[in-house]
Chains A and B, each alone.
Chain A
Amino acid sequence: MKKSLFLALTVSIGLSLSACGEYSQVASYKPGNYQGKSDTRPWEGGQFAGNKQAWEAALNSRNQAQNEYKKAN
Chain B
Amino acid sequence: MARMKFLCDAERCIECNGCVTACKNEHELPWGVNRRRVVTINDGVPGEKSISVSCMHCSDAPCMAVCPTDCFYKTEEGVVLHNKDACIGCGYCFFACPFGAPQFPSGPAAFGARGKMDKCTFCAGGPEENGSKAEFENYGRNRISEGKLPACAEMCATKALLAGDAPVISDIFRDRALRRGKAGDAAWGWTTAYGKPEQAAPAPAAKEGAK
Contact = CB atoms under 8 A, between A and B. Distances in A.
Interface of A: 31-50, 54-56, 58-60, 62-64, 66-69
Interface string B155-196: 000010011110011011001100100000000000000000
A69 B201 contact: no
Most buried by B among A36, A50, A59, A60: A36
B50 interface: no
B146 interface: yes
Contacts of A33: 70
A42 to B, nearest CB: 4
B1 A44 contact: no
A39 B81 contact: yes
Contact of B203 (A35, A39, A47): A39
B129 to A, nearest CB: 6
Report the interface size class on chain B: 35 or more
Contacts of B128: 37, 39
B129 A34 contact: no
A60 B148 CA distance: 9
- SS of A interface (majority): loop
A32 to B, nearest CB: 4
B25 interface: no
B131 interface: yes
Contacts of B1: 56, 59
Contact of B127 (A37, A43, A49, A58): A37
Interface string B128-152: 1111000000000010111111000
Contacts of A50: 210-211
Nearest to A58: B147
